[in-house]
Amino acid sequence: MSAMVNIWLRELTKLREKIQLEKTAMKKANHLFFKSISTQQHEEEEEYVAKSASSVVPVTAEKRVSEETIFMLMDRFAPS
């Protein structure tokens, strides 16, 4: 009976080691994945800032929405 317990313990130890190796591999893969995403986001933000800085349009009186229009839209689309 003790031999069976020893066999089970060895197998459980092997499985535990295998799971730990898979977890570390996944952590490394996730780290590299998030690192690549963060560099892509940083580049996209830089492009956006460059584009927005060059295409700044001043807001004129015609482009603003009046307070009455805002209230009308809130009354129309607000849940009651």
The 3-state DSSP class for residue 3 equals helix
Domain that holds residue 49: 1-53
69 found inside a domain: no
Residue 47 has a pLDDT of 78
Taking CA atoms, 41 is separated from 44, 47, 68, in Å, by 5, 10, 39
Q: What is the pLDDT of residues 32-80, one digit of tens each?
A: 777 777 777 777 777 777 776 666 566 666 667 788 888 888 888 877 6
Taking CA atoms, 38 is separated from 11, 32, 50, 60, in Å, by 40, 10, 18, 36
For residues 30 and 18, give the distance between their C-alpha atoms in angstroms, rounded to a whole number. Answer: 18
46 found inside a domain: yes
Residue 29 has a pLDDT of 81
58 found inside a domain: no
Q: Please tell me the total count of domains within the chain.
A: 1
Model confidence band, residue 23 (pLDDT cutoffs 50, 70, 90) = confident
